[in-house]
Each structure stands twice: as structure tokens, then as C-alpha cells.
């Protein structure tokens, strides 16, 4: 069985982003069948159709990485009951020009987090909506809402909660099974 390349997009740009820490934890926990790599989205220029005739270099590179991936993992905070703007911009950049989307027909998954006990449930559900149009086949179950996220990591960025680690391990194993269905 060949490894599947999974592009991981982190929706928080903060230096000490809990979402980046969660993404790194998922990378560590991923089974050997998956190769997870964070694809940076923070420097992508805001999507503007006028730029499609001569796209910025970072768009070209990003579109190539998205097209080459076998699947996608989105790790997003919840901002105002929805997902982050940088993820929305990344979706737009790689889905354009119209008819040339790099996303389509591949599996995806979402892990959301929040400082609240709800774990970014609103962001997780809202991010599923554009996936229908860009034709990413989202894993339905298990869902991953990581609540009280500011308490999860110590000063060395180690996950403190064995329960959370066990949950993330189960989630990423289920995600690997989902990816291999395609």
C-alpha cells in the first residue's frame, strides 16, 4: 500500500496557534499509510479574479501542492461561529479559475477547536458547506470538536491530555480508512 499525501491546512496564523499544535500532533499520530504535511496558507494573496491571468507565485505553488495531494485535512479555529478567513481564501485560490479547481474528487477531514467547551462545532459545520461545491468528500464520522483547547498543551507544546491523544489517534486512524476508500 503506497502512502497517501495529505495536505494539512491550519486556519490560525498565530505563532502559538493551538490549531497548529493540534495539526502537529495529528502528524505525529498518523498511521504509516498517510504522509501529512502542513501547506502554508497565511501568505496567499486575497483571491481576486483579475490576478488569474498572471497569478502570484504563491498561488501557483499552492495550487500545485493542492493538485498533487491525495486528500486534505483542515484544522480550524472557530471565529464568530464559522471557520477562519484564511481557509476560505485558500479554498477560493485553489478552486479558480472557474473550471480549473485543484480540489475535486478527493477525500477530506476537519478538526476544529475552540477555547469554549463546544470545540468549534460551528466552524466545523460551516466548513462543510463549501466542500460540496469544491467536490471534497468529507469524512462524516467521527467528528472532531476539540474544546477547551487553550488547556491542552504544556510550555514545550506537548499534549497534556491522554484522553485527547486517544481521541485524536482514533480520529486520524478513521481518517486514514476514509482516505483509502478513494
Question: What pLDDT, on a 0 to 100 scale, did the predictor assign at position 83?
Answer: 96
Quote the CA–CA distance of 8 and 1 in Å, as a whole number: 21
Q: Strand, coil or helix: what is 55?
A: coil
pLDDT score, position 117:
84
Q: Where are the domains of the chain?
A: 4-180
Asked if 18 contacts 150 with a C-beta cutoff of 8 angstroms, the reply is yes
CB-CB contact of 107 with 176 (8 Å):
no
Torsion angle of C-alpha atoms 84, 85, 87, 92, degrees rounded to 10: 150
Sequence-distant (≥ 6) Cβ neighbours of residue 174 within 8 angstroms: 139, 141, 142
CATH, domain 4-180, list 3.30.460.80, 3.40.50.280, 3.40.50.150, 3.40.50.360:
3.40.50.360
Per DSSP, 97 falls in state: S
What are the grid coordinates assigned to 61, written together? Answer: 505553488
Does pTM surpass 0.85?
A: yes
- From first to last of its 182 residues, the chain has per-residue pLDDT tens of 689 999 999 999 999 999 999 999 999 999 999 999 999 999 999 999 999 999 999 999 999 999 999 999 999 999 999 999 999 999 999 999 999 999 989 999 999 999 888 889 999 999 999 999 999 999 999 999 999 988 899 999 999 999 999 999 999 999 999 999 98
Amino acid at each position: 500500500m503506497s502512502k497517501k499525501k495529505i495536505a494539512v491546512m491550519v486556519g490560525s496564523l498565530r505563532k502559538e496557534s493551538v490549531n497548529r499544535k493540534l495539526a502537529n500532533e495529528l502528524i505525529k499520530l498518523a498511521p504509516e499509510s498517510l504522509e501529512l504535511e502542513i501547506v502554508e496558507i497565511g501568505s496567499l494573496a486575497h483571491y481576486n479574479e483579475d490576478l488569474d491571468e498572471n497569478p502570484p507565485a504563491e498561488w501557483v505553488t499552492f495550487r500545485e501542492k493542492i493538485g498533487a495531494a491525495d486528500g486534505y485535512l483542515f484544522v480550524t479555529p472557530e471565529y464568530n461561529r464559522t471557520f477562519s478567513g484564511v481557509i476560505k481564501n485558500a479554498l477560493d485560490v485553489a478552486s479558480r479559475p472557474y473550471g480549473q479547481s485543484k480540489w475535486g474528487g478527493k477525500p477530506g477531514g476537519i478538526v476544529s477547536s475552540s477555547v469554549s467547551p463546544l470545540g468549534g462545532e460551528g466552524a466545523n459545520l460551516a466548513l462543510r458547506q463549501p466542500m460540496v461545491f469544491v467536490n471534497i468528500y468529507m469524512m462524516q464520522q467521527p467528528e472532531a470538536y476539540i474544546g477547551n483547547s487553550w488547556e491542552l498543551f504544556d510550555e514545550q507544546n506537548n499534549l497534556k491530555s491522554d484522553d485527547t491523544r486517544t481521541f485524536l489517534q482514533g480520529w486520524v486512524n478513521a481518517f486514514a480508512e476514509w482516505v483509502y476508500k478513494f
